[in-house]
Chains A and B, each alone.
Chain A
Amino acid sequence: MDNKKSNPPKLAKLLLNISLPKHVKDEICGDLEEEFNLYILKEKGDVMANRWFWSQSLTTCIRYLFIKQRLLSALTVILAISILATLYVAITSLSYASKEFFNDDFWYNGNIHLLFFEPKFWSFTSNSIFESLPLMHLVDSHSAIWACLALLSLFKLDQKYQFNTLIFSILSLALMLSPYLYGVITLQLSSLSNKEVGPLIALMWLPIMYMILPIAYLTVKKLTNSNKNRPLIS
């Protein structure tokens, strides 16, 4: 045994600090360090003790990184960003695509979701992903008003009724997709001209664009709080 004092591997400690949730971070890090210093070093020696600390840290990190709440949060964020990016490209296509792009029936009969299954949309996407869209193309007063009212109502209702994550998500989706459904019904019931279809499609897509990030943020916050609301620390 050498006399120099060994410490747990710094990188493993950093990993624990990054990946553990706040409510158990101090206890778990402290317990591992205490066990390392008081027992494992004496029982196993430096090299094996370091290996022990690494193995304990990794299994603990994996356990806490892959808990349901974190996976759901990550999935929510990825989904929100993907939808936002797809809609951005779709709106770019409305602004820049050639006339042939709009020949399909789905633009006029309400089945606009079919656009996202069209190869031409995805080839347009790869060409236009770095195309800068003037900010004004992303602004629509009706959509903005709807998004503001919907987010405000959602916030107020949540304050009053303290929805759980599932109810909150369902309500958010309903409010976010209402203009889209309105657009689909309008397109199916009436035959609109080219000039009328454009603003209606903007009303279908833009509220989703405006609302998706705040809703994703609130959902993740709710997921995190539902994990925190445990009577753990006295």
Chain B
Amino acid sequence: MANKKSYLGEFEHLVLLSVMHLGEDAYGVTVRRHLKNTIDRDVSIGALYSTVERLEKKGLITSKKGEAKAERGGKAKRYFKLTSDGITNLKYTKDKLELMWEKLPDFFSMGAC
């Protein structure tokens, strides 16, 4: 059971959202390209796998080996999937962030930044 008190880091949050968005097709290449295409964030493959390992340790995602293809040099993919704890944790983080933003209703319209 993931501990709600183990808060998500910013990049962990982004990876979980990508995995959620990609569904059955979430693996290293697609997650990286999703982050690049959506928020223009270049992520090194090493950083992605370190984060995935950490998320898996926290019980927020699981992974399984997939098929090996010629364009991958015959190497297998590793597919990621959100666990129910991962979904709960994402929702918890979203709620808390929204709550924080609600405390600043006119922040942007006031031209504060």
Listed in ascending order, the chain A residues whose CB lies under 8 Å from chain B are 8, 13, 24, 26-35, 37-39, 56, 59-60, 63-64, 230-234
Contact = CB atoms under 8 A, between A and B. Distances in A.
A233 B46 contact: no
B29 A35 contact: yes
Nearest to A30: B75
- Of B27, B29, B64, the most chain A CB neighbours within 10 A belong to B29
Given A59-B46, A60-B44, A60-B45, A31 B53 contact: no
Given A234-B62, A234-B64, A33 B72 contact: yes
Give 4 closest A-B pairs by Cβ, nearest first: A30-B75, A31-B28, A63-B46, A30-B72
B93 interface: no
The A contact surface, by secondary structure, is helix
Contacts of A231: 56-57
B64 A33 contact: no
Given A33-B75, A234-B62, A28 B45 contact: yes
B13 interface: no
Interface string B58-85: 0000111100110111111110000000
Given A31-B28, A35-B32, 18 more contacts: A8-B73, A26-B75, A27-B28, A28-B28, A28-B49, A29-B73, A29-B75, A30-B28, A31-B45, A33-B71, A34-B29, A39-B33, A63-B44, A63-B50, A64-B46, A233-B64, A234-B62, A234-B63
Interface residues of B, number: 28
B47 interface: yes
- Of A30, A56, A60, the most chain B CB neighbours within 10 A belong to A30
A30 B68 CA distance: 8
B46 A27 contact: no
Given A26-B76, A34-B71, A63-B47, A230 B32 contact: no
B49 to A, nearest CB: 5
A86 to B, nearest CB: 37
A209 to B, nearest CB: 39
A32 B29 CA distance: 8
A26 B28 CA distance: 11
A24 B32 CA distance: 16
Interface string B15-38: 000000000000111001100000
Contacts of B78: 27, 233
Nearest to B59: A231
Given A28-B28, A230-B56, A233-B65, A33 B73 contact: yes
Contacts of A37: 71
A37 B71 CA distance: 6
A31 B29 contact: yes
Contact of A30 (B46, B47, B77): B77
A27 B77 contact: yes
Contact of A24 (B49, B69, B74): B49
Nearest to B72: A30
